[in-house]
Amino acid sequence: MFDVLVYLYENYWRPDACPDHEQLTRKLSSAGFESDEIQEALSWLDGLATVAECYTGEQQQSSIRVYTAAEQDLLGEESISFISFLESAGVLPPPLREMVVDRASAIGVAPIPLDDIKIIVLMVFWSLGKEPDTLVLDELFVAPEDRLIH
């Protein structure tokens, strides 16, 4: 599923630039993705659109997040630390953080690998038509061992 999401991010600059589900399914199928993987990704994106409607209207821009034991098990320490890092850097406000946690919960894998959380964060920004700043993109795409230290 994550390969489909990355493909969509790379090929469609915003969700409204994507064709309807039927045409998109055909395009993804012709790009080599399996039918079940496509349906899973499209269903996940539908959920993201629904969650985006709920959280984008929220005005609360500061809050403290206490993760439940189930969320801690689901996300894992590494992913929670990464989400907290993005929050403390001021690039992931509470409403977007909640979208990330919601969409991570929809995956059904525990703990979610950090690389998958990074894709979820990217897709949350994408779903809102926002492009993360360069430093966030670097954090999402460049492996720590590949970074140049100046």
pLDDT digits (tens, 9 = 90+) for 91-136: 889 999 999 999 999 998 889 999 999 999 999 999 988 877 766 6
On whether the CB atoms of residues 30 and 38 are closer than 8 A, the answer is no
Q: Is the pLDDT of residue 3 over 90?
A: yes
CA distances from 104 to 70, 92, 111, 137, 146 (A): 12, 15, 10, 19, 26
Between 25 and 54, the more confident residue is 25
Question: In the prediction, which pLDDT does 14 show?
Answer: 80
Residue range 13-22: mean pLDDT, rounded: 85
How does pLDDT run across 39-85, given as a tens digit for each residue? 999 999 999 999 888 766 554 566 788 999 999 999 999 999 999 99
Question: In the prediction, which pLDDT does 148 show?
Answer: 46
* Pairwise CA distance, residues 8 & 146, whole Å: 25
One DSSP character per residue, 18-71 reads: SPPHHHHHHHHHHTT--HHHHHHHHHHHHHHHHHHHHHTT-----------HHH
Q: In 3-state terms, what secondary structure has residue 106?
A: coil
Between 146 and 34, the more confident residue is 34
